[in-house]
A and B are shown apart, each in its own frame.
Chain A
Amino acid sequence: MQTLILIFVVLGLATIGYMSGRGRAILVSGGAPKTLHSLPSYYGTYSAFWIAIPALLVLTIWLFIEPKLIQAWVMGGLPDSLTGDLAADRLGLLLNDIRNLASGNIVSRDVDPALQAAADRLITLQAAGFWLMVALVVLVGIGGFLLARSRITPDLRARNSVERTVNIILIISSLIAILTTVGIVFSLIFESFRFFVQVPFYEFLFGLNWSPQTALRADQVGSSGAFGAVPLFMGTLLITLIAMAVAAPIGLMSAVYMAEYADPRFRAIAKPLLEVLAGIPTVVYGFFAALTVAPFFRNTGEAIGLDVASESALAAGVVMGIMIIPFVSSLSDDVINAVPQSLRDGSYGLGATKSETIRSVVVPAALPGIVGALLLATSRAIGETMIVVMAAGLAANLTLNPLEAVTTVTVQIVTLLVGDQEFDSAKTLSAFALGLVLFIVTLALNVIALSVVRKYREKYD
């Protein structure tokens, strides 16, 4: 909280620096801003940067280092009777207690004078540290301000410096985004690796039996701990296929209708309506699938003498297909619209009818984009979780029968990690391996889809 105030103080200083830098520039130009190298506002920004950036940098570094320094001092000041020869984790507990004592929380041991002394020491150090930080940051800010002020001359290339600094700030922002992604991927890889130490790679990829309950006690029954993921892959594939079988034809046909046949007024209403489908939370689709569609399929199956599981791949797949219709139709509609009118005219001019033109010219011309749309929709379906959690079941059956219950990669990840878990058992770690597989597959699909779409775009622009 106090740090936040400090940040605002720095920003306030920077604002003042902006005004002053601007004024200074006009002043040194002798009242003729035209003689300056850059516009006056660039000199303002230049001063503001010189104040804010070093000050905030110092602040960040301080916030990183200060706790470690204080900790070292506090622990170093403890008598040997307390620290003794404690292991690292015990030392951590001790430190925690000192902290709690300092902030007036409950402590897990008897408070002896040495501990109390350490806590007092911590409080003083923290208070001193804070004021030291404030002083340092403000000093650096003022220093930067003075430096910038002394540098402002009509010849200073303020615009170039500002542009360069902005450039660097932007680069750092995007680096943060990229590094976060890379970090997530690396943690996936790292944890998966820990899993593959416990369970062989080939067993995971090619094993036919999935039963991730590992025995906690030696005498426990029914917890074999088999990690063959093929049933999950098959389940995912089956549900994705069903979903695409629903979404591809309906989405494509509605896209063709919207783009080629529909009255513009109808289109203006129908297209957003269709896109609303994409805005429905997937959990809503999930209970729609579990409570409406699945029982409907089971009852229908019963009526015609078929044995349909109450949680069937069919129900989950169909509902998922409905969910991804807008992905297919909206993207396809865009690519069909991007087919130049001149191609249609060319076809009409040769005596082709509307449907011939659509079939032989428009759709083939839009095909790469349509393929891209289908691939994106597929990757959506593979990664979809909520619907299958609620409607597809948990049984890892190895089957291609859509009327039976199957489970998917995403469902298993959820069930593996729901509730309290130990973080080093094969059961928990297998979630990372599944996540890695999912990540690789959807990444590949997206890359292919985007490159296909991009190639197509280039052709008509």
Chain B
Amino acid sequence: MNDGTQAVEQALSESSTPKPATETKHVKILNRDVNVFYGEKHALKHVDLDIYEHEVTALIGPSGCGKSTFLRCLNRMNDVIDSCRVAGTIEIDQTDIYTSGLDVVQLRARVGMVFQKPNPFPKSIFDNVAYGPRIHGTAQNKSEVEEIVRTSLERAGLWKEVHDRLDQPGTGLSGGQQQRLCIARAIAVNPEVILMDEPCSALDPIATAKIEELIDELRENYTIVIVTHSMQQAARVSQRTAFFHLGDLVEVDQTDSMFTNPKDSRTQGYITGRFG
């Protein structure tokens, strides 16, 4: 066994959250035979994956294997890319999100997204968080907006640090704070699912630890799908892990069994650090 695996096992044993039995869980997002093409390139092949409510699902795999592509299918962010074509069935709470009548705006309000690099808007902290509620018209008046901003920042664990400077630009915060601001911004539209694409890859270890802690807390209210490069992180925050390789979903299992007992040789190779 090499060091990488040991670190993962350590992370698993340190992880304090009890792993609930999945049989009682409700399937939040159902993916059947999902295929994605960028022009001619077949980037994602026949993916069948269930994502359970109030769980953190981690997507791991070597660079370019299609993790981000899959994540972006779930809130139809791939619509923005001209060459991109998605086929297959993706249902959230039994509704197909790719049916023609579906309103993307509504979908993205239900499925929030946090990006790899913190991307606060060049506006004040307050306006960053209030952006979503304002465009969706969820708040009737000023005090409601303030209430939403406050609770979102609290849930994102940022309120204490910024409550006295809400009018200052969000871009002036530290990297970790910016990322939590982006999480608060996503929470503010009251989504059911939060997608995170390598949310900690631009952050230092301390900021990363804070975000991981936050992800664990958010699980209570939201369903979370997180792409990560770090297997330790997957082990620490997720209950379920999916391993992608060259556009295939190779294996998906509960995180602890995946890391202790991978079934596929490619998974084993990846988590023991033989490639990737």
Binding site for B on A (CB under 8 A): 340, 342-343, 345-353, 356, 360-361, 364-365, 459
Would you call A364 and B122 a contact (CB within 8 A)? yes
Not counting A342-B119, A345-B115, A350-B135, a sample of 13 additional A-B residue pairs whose C-beta atoms are within 8 angstroms of each other reads A343-B119, A345-B113, A346-B115, A346-B182, A349-B75, A349-B108, A351-B132, A351-B135, A352-B105, A360-B121, A360-B135, A364-B122, A365-B121
Chain B, residues 75-106, CB within 8 Å of chain A (1/0): the string is 10100100000000000000000000000111
A361 / chain B contacts, CB cutoff of 8 Å:
121
A80 to chain B, nearest CB (A): 83
A364 to B171 CA separation, bound complex (whole angstroms):
14
Q: What are 12 A-B residue pairs whose CB atoms fall within 8 Å in the complex?
A: A343-B121, A345-B80, A346-B182, A349-B108, A350-B108, A350-B109, A350-B112, A350-B132, A350-B189, A351-B108, A352-B131, A356-B135
Cross-chain contact B119 with A351 (CB below 8 angstroms) = no
- B122 in contact with A351 (CB, 8 Å): no
**Are A340 and B135 closer than 8 Å at their CB atoms?**
no
Q: A346 contacts which chain B residues (CB < 8 A)?
A: 115, 119-121, 182, 185
**Contact yes or no, A340 B119, CB < 8 A:** yes
> Does chain A have a CB within 8 A of B155?
no
Question: If A345-B77, A360-B135 touch, does A351 touch B109 (CB 8 Å cutoff)?
Answer: yes
**Cα separation A94 to B117 with both chains bound (whole Å):** 81
Q: Known contacts A345-B77, A459-B122; is A351 also within 8 Å of B115 by CB?
A: no
B105/A351 in contact, CB under 8 A: yes
| A348 contacts across to B, CB distance below 8 A | 77, 80, 108
CB contacts (< 8 Å) of A345 on chain B: these are 77, 80, 113, 115, 119
Query: Cα distance A364–B120 when bound, in Å?
Result: 13
B132: chain A residues at CB < 8 Å are 350-351
B contacts with A: majority SS: helix
- Pairs of residues from A and B, 5 with the lowest C-beta to C-beta distance, nearest first: A351-B108, A349-B113, A342-B119, A351-B109, A346-B119
B62-78 interface with A by 8 A CB criterion: 75, 77
If the complex has contacts A361-B121, A365-B121, A459-B171, are A349 and B115 also in contact, measured as CB distance less than 8 A? yes
Q: How many A-B residue pairs have CB under 8 A?
A: 66
In angstroms, Cα B128 to Cα A365, docked, is 13
For B123, the chain A residues whose CB sits under 8 A away are: 364
CB-CB under 8 A for A350 and B122, given A345-B80, A345-B115, A360-B135: no
Instruction: A356 to B189: give the CA distance in the assembly, Å.
Output: 16
Report chain B residues within 8 Å CB of A353.
Answer: 105
User: Closest residue to A456 on the B side, CB-wise?
Assistant: B122
**B186 close to chain A: CB less than 8 A:** yes
Among B122, B171, B189: residue with most chain A CB under 10 A: B122
Residue B136, interface by CB 8 Å: yes
* A348 to B105 alpha-carbon distance, docked (Å): 8
Segment 166-222 of B: residues with Cβ below 8 Å from A = 171, 182, 185-186, 189
Across-interface contacts of B189 in A (CB, < 8 A): 350-351
Instruction: Report A378 CB to chain B, min CB distance, Å.
Output: 24
How many Å lie between the Cα of A120 and that of B171 in the bound state?
81
Q: How far is the CA of A360 from the CA of B131 in the complex (A)?
A: 9
Whether B185 contacts A350 by the Cβ 8 Å rule is yes
State in angstroms the CA–CA spacing of A391 and B108 once bound together: 55
Residues of A contacting B122 in the complex (Cβ-Cβ under 8 angstroms)? 343, 364-365, 459
Contact check, A342 vs B115: say whether CB atoms are below 8 A apart: yes
In the docked arrangement, what's the CA distance between A342 and B120, Å? Answer: 9
Can you name the residue of chain A whose Cβ is closest to the Cβ of B185?
A350
Closest to B123 in A: A364
Contact B77 A351 (CB under 8 A): no
Residues in B with CB closer than 8 Å to A350 are 108-109, 112-113, 131-132, 135, 185-186, 189
Nearest neighbor of B103 in chain A, beta-carbon distance:
A351
**Residues in B neighbouring A459, C-beta threshold 8 A:** 122, 171
**What residues of chain A lie closer than 8 Å to B109, measured between beta carbons?**
350-351
Contact partners of A343 in chain B: CB under 8 A: 119, 121-122
Q: In the complex, which residues 119-169 of chain B have their Cβ closer than 8 Å to any Cβ of chain A?
A: 119-123, 131-132, 135-136
- Report the minimum CB–CB distance from A445 to chain B (whole Å): 24
Q: Which residues of the partner chain A approach B131 to less than 8 Å between Cβ atoms?
A: 347, 350, 352, 360
Complex: A165 Cα to B161 Cα, angstroms = 55
Expressed in whole angstroms, the Cα–Cα distance for A350 and B110 within the complex equals 9
Complexed CA–CA distance, A349 and B120 (Å) = 12
Nearest Cβ in chain A — how far from B66, in angstroms? 18
A339 to chain B: closest residue by CB: B122
Q: Give A346 to B108 CA distance when docked, in angstroms.
A: 11
Q: Which residues of B contact A352 (CB under 8 A)?
A: 105, 131, 135
Cβ contact within 8 Å between A351 and B171: no
A121, chain B: closest CB distance, angstroms: 78
Q: In the bound complex, how far is the Cα of B128 from the Cα of A350, in angstroms?
A: 11
Q: Report the Cα distance A351→B185, complex, angstroms.
A: 12
A368 to chain B, nearest CB (A): 9
**CB-CB < 8 A to A342: which residues of B?**
115, 117, 119
Closest chain B residue, CB of each to CB of A356: B135
